[in-house]
Amino acid sequence: MEIVSGLVSYTVAKVLQLSGFSERENAQKNKKMEEKALEVYDVIRTIRDPEKPNTLEELDVVSEKCVEVQEIGEEEYLIIIRFCPTVPHCSLATLIGLCLQVKLQRCLPFKHKLEIYISEGTHSTEEDINKQINDKERVAAAMENPNLREIVEQCVIEPDD
């Protein structure tokens, strides 16, 4: 019975492959993920740097290539962002990660899980910061601090707000 099942699976896979169906399906899925990634990037690119009047996009802290989207369920996505602080000892990297978290949680119109990381090798304490910005309790506690909350609000406000 297992042999028959295996042959049927193989045959179906071959027919789909020969028909180009699976390639078209993959191309459609890839296009959809690219569109979602651009949608995410469009949300984060306007976040302001906590110290400078520039956006994260203008400072090359975020770029289109730093956003990856994967489908993890029906209409549910995993968003992975890898940002680059301007200097390897940037004291505001955690705050930038917090701004990314807050803005995406507020602005994305689809169901998602979020992972934010500092790009490998771009910060002296990237491991510690990665843990902090992906810990829901720490993020919630940070947003309860009125001073931090005010800074985050100023960074994530839309330019025309």
Cα distances from 105 to residues 15, 91, 95, 154, 156, in angstroms, run 42, 23, 15, 16, 11
The token pair that represents 86 in the structure block: 């301007």
- The edge-to-edge listing of strands for the beta sheet with 67-73 is 67-73, 76-83, 111-118
pLDDT at residue 69, rounded to an integer? 96
Contact 112, 77 (CB under 8 A): yes
Q: What is the pLDDT of residue 126?
A: 92
Q: Looking at residue 93, what is its pLDDT?
A: 94
User: What is the chain's pLDDT, residue by residue, as a tens digit (161 residues)?
Assistant: 667 666 777 776 776 666 665 677 778 888 989 999 999 999 999 999 999 999 999 999 999 999 999 999 888 999 999 999 989 988 899 999 999 999 999 999 889 999 999 999 999 899 999 999 999 999 999 999 999 999 999 999 987 65
Please tell me the predicted confidence (pLDDT) of residue 24: 75
What CATH topology corresponds to 30-156? GMP Synthetase; Chain A, domain 3 (3.30.300)
pTM confidence score: 0.81
pLDDT at 160: 65
- Element spanning 92, H or E: none
